[in-house]
Amino acid sequence: MKTFFALASICASASAFAPAANSAVETRLFDKINNKIDLDSPKVATMDKLSNGDKKVYCRCWQSGTFPLCDGSHMAHNKETGDNVGPLIVSVDKAE
C-alpha cells in the first residue's frame, strides 16, 4: 500500500509540470491559415503567367485584399502575431 501511495505521489508531482492539453500553442497548431479566400473550395490554387521583364509580388499570409497578389497586409499580421511572414517576389529578366 505504501508503494501505491508513493507511486501516486510521484505521478501527481510529474503531472504538475506537464503542459496543459488545451494550451494556446497546441490549439494554434490546428487553426486554419486561410480564413477568407475561396473557403468553399477544397484547395486554393492559382496559376499565373509572367512575361519578359515582369515582376509580381504574391501574398503568403492569406490576409491580402488583392489575393493572390500582396497588398502589404502581412505587416499588420506580423505586428499582431509576432510572425515574420513576407511576400513571394517573382521576376523575369528582360529579353535581350
- The answer to whether 43 is a known catalytic residue is yes
Sign (positive or negative) of CA dihedral 55, 61, 62, 66: negative
Of 33, 36, 42, 41, the C-alpha closest to 67 is 36
Catalytic residue among 43, 55, 79, 94: 43
Q: Which residues contact 9 (CB under 8 A, 6 or more apart)?
A: none
- Residues recognised as catalytic: 43
